[in-house]
A and B are shown apart, each in its own frame.
Chain A
Amino acid sequence: MRRRTTSRTSRHTTRPSSHHRHRPPQEGQLLLRDVTVSYNRVPAVHHVSFHLDPMSCAGLIGPNGAGKTTLLKAVGGLLSLETGEIFFGGSSLKMGTSAGMRETIAYVPQRESVDWDFPITVRGLVEMGRYPALGAFGKFSEHDEEIVQESLSLVDLEEYAERQIKQLSGGQQQRAFLARAWAQQSQIYLLDEPFTGLDTNAKTALRTIMEKLRLSGKILICSHHDTSEVPALFSHVLFLNGELIASGPTSSVFTEENLEAAYSTPVFSGKH
């Protein structure tokens, strides 16, 4: 798979952030520095800094209202940042950045927010992943066809390709979206509660595919609320509760102490 190489050097300078280290952004790395996102001046997540290297699948863990969806949307460029910056591979991701940069991020919404009655087949959904690269008039070539086919087989949905998307099970629907993201040749996958409402088999299947993506060098961030499954599902953990409690590899960060901290501290909602 194409790895987006960004030759731009890190020309930015470190924004003064009182309590976070100044890391230079690195190749292929997702870096959040001092990110605050507010709704009407009330911060939903504040001063979040972390980095994820390629080949990480991070669980974004925290109680309801911790700002999980907000953070995902901020990384996806759906919300503007109050403070801080987000970098991928050394270049800043800002709202309205050029289309070429935007494709590197694939946002997979919660299942409830999708209109599953939309007149589209699984193949059509995956073909949408090629639209950004093709632009308005680019011809859908054999090459694109191959990518679509490859994406479908990656998520084991080849035999369902001609089905309307509602005729898939919940797990298959998630996988169809992952196939679309793969066809888009994204590097960063943002998944909002992908495991919610799936039975054990479907979870295993989805997990298998996410592991494939991870091993091919992608970065995945999944919001998730069931803490009991974390070690089985994610290589990295981000504990969020308004602010970032802890982040890092699951083995070292997924501790009683951090869990306690993420779930017991009251959510920050006061004046900034």
Chain B
Amino acid sequence: MDFFLEPFDYEFMRRALLACLLVGFVNGYLGTFVILRRLSLIADALSHSLLPGMALATILFGLTPGGLFFGGILAAALVAIGGTLISRSSRIKDETAIAALFILSFATGIILIKFSTVRISLDHFLFGNILGVTNSDLWISFAVTAVVLLTLVALERPLILTLFEPNVAKTLGIRVGLLQIVLVGLVVLAMLSSLQAVGVLLSLGLLILPAATMYLLTDRIGVMAWGGAILGTVCAAAGLLLSFYSEIPSGPLIVLLLGFIFLAVYLFSPTYGIVVLAFHKRHLHEESLDRWHSSSQKHQHKKTTPTHPSDPSLPNT
């Protein structure tokens, strides 16, 4: 037991744990919606675009969590809105527009960092520093977690309808475009709240990996979302503990842990693992063969038994 409890004698570890739990949970839950809306790469692009806003905030206000937070939001919003404007007003498609703008934004950020009197390192931005989490960081994380979860729960049904088939959702009067904007907004919020703990690159890992893992395990969207949240939380906490003893940085360790689980599930998931599929590949094929056999048998019987099966396309049971 001491193995688990001893690290938390230190206050910085208690704070770090709280941050890990919040960040792991909110990203893990949100990830399901990001994956099903195929926003993974857009999320990646937006994560990089945060940099100039944060650099500018540091130049203007120093290294304050609130300044970094709103600076980041501003930069992401500019890239997202700018991308949409470019794609609507020219022949350039939106993923190209956003890619072009995010790299521009990132480069601007790197230059701005040079002008900052407070030294903020690129490493910090990309990989975070969980042991340096402050109370304000935690409050931001709390607020963001609450906002993201409440929004997602409130919008769950229209979101599911939209994610599954946007056209059908539109016929039901659902504002598909607006939901997309809300979703991207939530991703940016979650990313900013994860920034201090794991950095932008690794927050992307927390966003995508748990949900991708669950996607290979379940056919229920609710299980996928909540399972992703739990997986993200557990791995974040476990990564923190391991990093305490191994002295490997916690951010990469958390993502490595999630990555190993993802690969293991990709190989050995009982439903969609490639090993299982390799053995059961013929499942559907066999079923259609059965159906073919049974229907050709019925054809032979037809002359003697005139009863017509209610649904000939169903396989024989």
Contact = CB atoms under 8 A, between A and B. Distances in A.
A128 B170 contact: no
A167 B311 contact: no
B172 A132 contact: yes
Contact of A118 (B163, B167, B171): B163
B284 interface: yes
Interface string A111-133: 00111001111001100100110
A136 interface: yes
B168 to A, nearest CB: 5
A87 to B, nearest CB: 17
B285 interface: no
B164 A107 contact: no
Contacts of B157: 131, 134-136
B215 A119 contact: yes
Question: Which of B167, B223, B313 has the most chain A CB atoms closer than 10 A to its own CB?
Answer: B313
A105 B313 contact: no
Contacts of B172: 99, 102-103, 132
Interface stretch (A33-41, A201-209, A257-265): A201-209
A118 B312 contact: no
A96 B312 contact: no
B161 interface: yes
A172 interface: yes
B270 to A, nearest CB: 13
A205 B220 contact: no
Contact of A201 (B154, B156, B313): B313
Given A119-B221, A171-B313, A136 B155 contact: yes
A141 interface: no
Contact of A119 (B161, B168, B219, B313): B219
Contacts of B220: 119-121, 124
Contact of A156 (B154, B284, B314, B317): B314
B165 A114 contact: yes
B90 interface: no
B171 to A, nearest CB: 4
Interface string B270-314: 000000000000001000100000010000000000000011111
Contact of A128 (B154, B161, B167, B314): B161
A61 B108 CA distance: 56
Contact of B171 (A102, A124, A169): A102
Interface residues of B, number: 33
Interface in A181-225: 199, 201-202, 204-205, 208
A42 interface: no
A120 B165 contact: no
B43 interface: no
A199 B311 CA distance: 13
B311 A156 contact: yes
Given A119-B221, A124-B220, A156 B158 contact: no
Contact of B310 (A77, A120, A156, A159): A156
B134 interface: no
Contact of A169 (B170, B218, B224, B288): B288
Contacts of A228: none
B313 A205 contact: yes
Interface in B147-203: 154-158, 160-161, 163-165, 167-168, 170-173
A235 interface: no
A97 interface: yes
B312 A109 contact: no
Interface of A: 73, 76-78, 96-99, 102-103, 105-109, 113-115, 118-121, 124-125, 128, 131-132, 134-137, 156, 159, 164, 167, 169, 171-172, 199, 201-202, 204-205, 208
Interface of B: 36, 154-158, 160-161, 163-165, 167-168, 170-173, 215, 218-221, 223-224, 284, 288, 295, 310-314, 317
